[in-house]
Amino acid sequence: MSMIQEGVVFDFGYWTVKPGLEDLFLEKWQNFAQWTLNHFKGIRWIYMVRDQERGNEFISFAPWDSPESIAEWRRSSKYIAVFDELNNLCEGIEPVNMVEVTHVKR
């Protein structure tokens, strides 16, 4: 049996938005996501999903070329400023990095 090799690095964000601020949060997040795609070559795409039962809970995720690319993005002045803005709209935020260990395709 072979060991699973590490693959793509993902940035995940777990967002709990203050009730009533979901639309503003999504607008600001989408603008920031587009800026990120336009300015950082290490990112491939970005998704945001919403919990169907708890409408103020979201998860964002994006594959990156390397952990260093994510770190560079998080050190940018734009990231720091927007993260602060988004934090003010949220009850809680948890950014994490994860690495692909396996996947299944059709």
Domain ranges in the chain are: 9-98
Asked if 99 contacts 12 with a C-beta cutoff of 8 angstroms, the reply is: no
pLDDT value of position 102 = 83
Mean pLDDT of 29-35: 97
φ, ψ for residue 72, nearest 5 deg: -60, -45
Query: How much is the pLDDT for 6?
Result: 60
CATH topology of domain 9-98: Alpha-Beta Plaits (3.30.70)
Confidence at residue 32, expressed as pLDDT on a 0 to 100 scale: 96
Q: At what angle do helices 22-39 and 77-88 cross, to 10 degrees?
A: 170
Residues 6+ apart with CB under 8 A from 68: 42
pLDDT digits (tens, 9 = 90+) for 37-65: 999 999 999 999 999 999 999 999 999 99
- State CA 9 to chain mean position distance: 12
State the average pLDDT for the chain.
Answer: 92
pLDDT of residue 101: 85
Count the Cβ atoms, other than its own, within 10 Å of residue 78: 12
- Would you place residue 3 in the very low, low, confident or very high pLDDT band (cuts 50, 70, 90)? very low
Angle, CA 28 vertex, CA 11 and CA 63 arms, to 5°: 20
Confidence at residue 5, expressed as pLDDT on a 0 to 100 scale = 47
Helix axes 77-88, 67-75, angle to 10 degrees: 70
Of 65, 76, 68, 69, nearest to 32 by C-alpha is 76
